[in-house]
Every structure is written in structure tokens, then in C-alpha cells.
A and B are shown apart, each in its own frame.
Chain A
Amino acid sequence: EAGVTQFPSHSVIEKGQTVTLRCDPISGHDNLYWYRRVMGKEIKFLLHFVKESKQDESGMPNNRFLAERTGGTYSTLKVQPAELEDSGVYFCASSQVLGLAGISYNEQFFGPGTRLTVL
């Protein structure tokens, strides 16, 4: 079974340009997450989709970031316009709810990440 994939693996853009990152979750996983790690800092949560709906977008830094998951399959994260502080590694993860009814634990499977450099 294929794991979580992300495209591109690396992206170098100029400040002010637009970049779109893509994440393909494991087939059948309803939950999809975006995280970001800025150099030397923690990996931070950005947002969570359940199928095509945004469950929690409390971690999105500002309105220059737009995430979509049309059809509940793959997701895109667009940064427009990019700023220097947006540089970092963007991780995607997916999961399926497991466990007994009412009590949930879901293992999140991570993609390899997209390394974004804004110059």
C-alpha cells in the first residue's frame, strides 16, 4: 500500500511568488493534516481536514495560506504571496479513526515533507 506522498519535495521561490504544495493521503484515510517545521523550531499544526471539510484550521498563520481538499482525496496548500518567514518543511499526515465507539485514537502517517525556501 502506498504511503502519504507529497509534491514537490523541494521548492525554491522568490518572495512575493505563489507556491502550491500537494499531499496525497493513504487511500481511505478521511483525516488529513498539515504541519510545518520552521528551522530549529517545533513541528506545528496548521490544519485538519475530515474528508473535504476543514475540522480545525486554528494553526494557519494568516490569510496568505489557503488549504483545500476538494472531493476529500488529495489536498493542496497554497501560499500567496510567499514571505521569507514561510520557509520551512511542510508535512502532511493522514489517518483513519480506529478504536472503540466513542473512544478514538488514530495513528497519523506522515509524508516525506516539502522543503520550501523563500528567497
Chain B
Amino acid sequence: AQTVTQSQPEMSVQEAETVTLSCTYDTSENNYYLFWYKQPPSRQMILVIRQEAYKQQNATENRFSVNFQKAAKSFSLKISDSQLGDTAMYFCAFMKRSSGGGSNYKLTFGKGTLLTVNP
């Protein structure tokens, strides 16, 4: 079974600064995906960024980037130039990479980190 750990229940950052959210995971799988999801207050959870474990290059999406350390089983999220709209709960999640039909695509989540961006 997989586990995902987010050790920072809450964090805050000043607008325009950079913040890094931590995530570690435990798995015996070699092929998998890692995700960061964002849930703004009273809104739906949306995908921020995705990383395939077989890719060494860290994923980047505009101001969001990850630091993926496969050997250390670490997957941190860096938010550059933080904006007020980045205030949200951030969830780190794991999914086994499956092949063939009848695969199970369930996500395993961490407890989340509540990020507040202050003006």
C-alpha cells in the first residue's frame, strides 16, 4: 500500500514571494504518477501539476514547479511569485501507473497543506 505524507498542516507567504510545500511518499512501485491538487476556499479541487516517475525532468507549469527526488521519495511543490489567488488547501497525491485494461486509477492523498498568501 502507498502512503503520502504532508508534514506542514499550514503555511503562509507574502504576496510575490516564493514558497515550497513538502510531500514525501512511500511505495514499492516503480512506475507511478505524482500530483499536486489545489482546493481554493469553497471551490472545487483542481489539478495543479503532474509528474511521471519515469521522467527525470521536473515538471513545470507557469509559476508552479516540482522538485522530484525519486530515490528519496520526495515531491515538493514550489510556487513562485505567490498571488492572493494561490490561497488554498494543497494536496499531494499518488497514483500507480497502470497498463492494460481494468486498471485501478485510485489516488492516494496526503492530509493537505493550507497555504495562505498575505497581501
Do A and B interact with each other, yes or no?
yes
Q: How large is the interface on B (under 10, 10 to 19, 20 to 34, 35 or more residues)?
A: 20 to 34
A-B contact count (CB 8 A): 63
A74 contacts B by Cβ under 8 Å: no
Q: Which residues of B contact A104 (CB under 8 A)?
A: 98-99, 103, 105
B100 contacts A by Cβ under 8 Å: yes
Instruction: For B45, give its contact among A50, A59, A110 (CB under 8 Å).
Output: A110
Interface segment among A11-19, A38-46, A78-86: the answer is: A38-46
B107 and A45 contacting across the interface, CB-CB below 8 Å: yes
B68 contacts A by Cβ under 8 Å: no
Q: Which residues of A contact B36 (CB under 8 A)?
A: none
By beta carbon, the residue of chain A nearest B5 is A42
CA distance A51 to B33 in the complex (A): 23
A107 contacts B by Cβ under 8 Å: yes
For window 95-117 of B, CB contacts with A under 8 Å fall at 95, 97-100, 102-112
CA distance A35 to B37 in the complex (A): 14
Q: Mark A1-41, 1 if CB is under 8 A from B, else 0.
A: 00110000000000000000000000000010101000011
Number of interface residues of A (CB under 8 A): 29
B90 contacts A by Cβ under 8 Å: no
Q: Which residues of B contact A95 (CB under 8 A)?
A: 105
* Nearest Cβ on chain A to B5's Cβ, whole angstroms: 10
CA distance A91 to B91 in the complex (A): 14
Instruction: For A55, give its contact among B37, B52, B91, B102 (CB under 8 Å).
Output: B102
Instruction: For A33, give its contact among B46, B91, B106 (CB under 8 Å).
Output: B106
B11 contacts A by Cβ under 8 Å: no
* Nearest Cβ on chain B to A27's Cβ, whole angstroms: 17
CA distance A20 to B98 in the complex (A): 32
Instruction: For B106, give its contact among A50, A56, A113 (CB under 8 Å).
Output: A56
Q: Which residues of A contact B52 (CB under 8 A)?
A: 105
Given contacts A55-B102, A104-B103, A106-B105, contact A42 B110 (CB under 8 A): yes
* 17 pairs from A and B in contact (CB 8 Å cutoff): A42-B109, A43-B107, A43-B109, A45-B106, A48-B104, A48-B106, A55-B104, A103-B97, A103-B99, A104-B99, A104-B105, A105-B33, A105-B97, A106-B105, A108-B105, A110-B46, A112-B43
